[in-house]
Structure formats: C-alpha cells, structure tokens
Amino acid sequence: MAEAIRKGPRARDLKAMPGFKTVAWLCIIALYLPLAVLVIFSFNDNRSVVRWTEFSFRWYEAALSNDGIRNATWVSVKIAFVATVVATAAATMAALATTRTASFRGQGLAYGIINQPLMIPEIVTAIATLSLFALIKTATGVTGIGYLMAAHTAFCIPFAFMPIRARLEDMTLVLEQAGADLYATPWQTFRHITLPLLMPGIVAGAMLAFVVSLDDVIITLMVAGPGETTLPIYILGAIRRGITPEINAVSTILVGVSVLLVVLLFFVQRRMEK
C-alpha cells in the first residue's frame, strides 16, 4: 500500500479510452473531407462543381491568366510581407523586453495588451480599427493601403510573439553571461549570441504571421479601400456570383501555400526543440 501511495494515481492514456479513435477519425474527416473535395474538383474539366467529367488543368490556366486574381494576389503578398516584417520586429522587441528582464509590476498586463487580438473577437477588432482609421482619415485627409498594412501588422504581432517568447524562455542565460564576462557590449552579445539562438523562433513567428495575414478576411473586408482587394476578398466576392472550378483552383493554390508554410513551421519548431 505504501508503494502505491508513493507512485500516486496512474495517468490515463487518452488513446486507450473507449471511442477515442472513432471520435478522432470523425474530426479528421469533418475537417479535411471538404478540402479533399475542393482539390479534386479543381482538376475537373467540366464547369460544374458537382459533376466530374475528366482530369484537366484548364481552370488553373484560367486562374493564372486572370488579371483580377493576379492583382489580388500581388496585393495580398505585399500586405502580408510588410505586416510580417514589422510585426516580427515588434514581437521580437516585446519578447526581449518581457523575458530578458526581472519580473516587474504590470508584466501580466503587458502580456494581455500584446495578446489582445487573440482574446477579442476579430469582428470587434475590425470595427474598432475601422472607426479609428476613419477618424484619422477625416482629420488628416490621408488615404491609401498603409491603413490596411497597419491593421494587419497589429493583429499579426501576437502570432509572431508566441513562438519568439517560447524560444527565449527555453534559452539559457549562460552564453549571454559569458559574453558579458568577456567584455562584450550588450549589442555585441545580442548580435553574436542572442540573435543566432533566437533565429528559429523569429522564423517560426514570421511564417505564422505571414499565413495569418495572407488568409485574413474580416479585418481586411472592413478596412480595405478601393483597389485594395486581397485574394481572400476576391474569392469571397466571386463565390457570391456562384462557385466555379476557377475559384476551386485558386483556393487549392492558397491551401497549398498555407500547408507548405505550416510544414516549414513544423520543421523550424523541431529544430527549436533540439
């Protein structure tokens, strides 16, 4: 009995619970079956999205030659790139300020402010951003795509912050302290020790921010002005006129890019764990 007390309660294996595999497979099917249908019918030669005729790349060729799709893709990539760079830089500075210092009063509040876009519904953030930008435009008369880039940057910061902060918390201070003992300046320590060790987290945060910005709909729909149609907004507008295999092809490409970035993110995180 004493031995049983020392061992404590035996941990339960979720995989051994009745019905676990069934529920897991149902969840996988519900999540990925629609994507499989989307991908399959993007190669359908027939214009119908419910009746298969023969395999063809016709709709991919049509999508790649569509000026509207190409312009929307360029706008999406441009916004996502700027938002990723700025958000990752801001997230890196925020992570350094909250992990490479002693605990301070209001640290929890700082985390809450940084992660605000994750805790507040996106539609609320979109309306608040729209109202703020409307006031700025009225007061200054300045318009342009910069507002959309700023909005994307704001909600991408917490997505970049999480992996960067996680990487910093796993990093030991021994090497940085050794550099200080060897009379390295704070900048030299950061450049030659902290930054190289932190780079996997920065890359992971940047890729996550890029995917989030590239796929955003709600905030973009609220903030975007004339001529600022991103690829998700273009797809949404096209769907309102009826789903076509061309939209399936564009969506498949977008899914492929997202999956590729997620796979790269997985390998970066595996490297972080080593």
Q: How far apart are CA 6 and CA 1, in angstroms?
A: 9
Name the superfamily (CATH) of residues 66-273.
MetI-like (1.10.3720.10)
pLDDT at 271: 67
Model pLDDT, residue 82: 95
Q: Where exactly are the structural domains of the chain?
A: 13-41, 66-273
Looking at residue 79, what is its pLDDT?
Answer: 93
Decide: 121 and 129 in contact? Cβ < 8 Å. Answer: no
pLDDT at 4: 47
> What was the pLDDT predicted at 135?
92
Q: Which ranges constitute the DSSP H helices of 42-106?
A: 58-64, 67-99
Task: Tell me the C-alpha distance between 49 and 43, whole Å.
Answer: 10
Contact 75, 229 (CB under 8 A): yes
Cα(154)–Cα(122) distance, integer angstroms: 12
Burial annotation 214-250 (CB, 10 A radius, 16+ → b, else e): bbbebbbbbbbeeebbbbbbbbeebeeeebbbbbbbb
Q: What is the mean pLDDT of each run of 10 residues along the chain (274 residues)?
A: 47 70 88 87 80 84 86 91 94 86 72 79 89 90 88 91 86 77 79 83 88 89 86 85 80 84 75 62
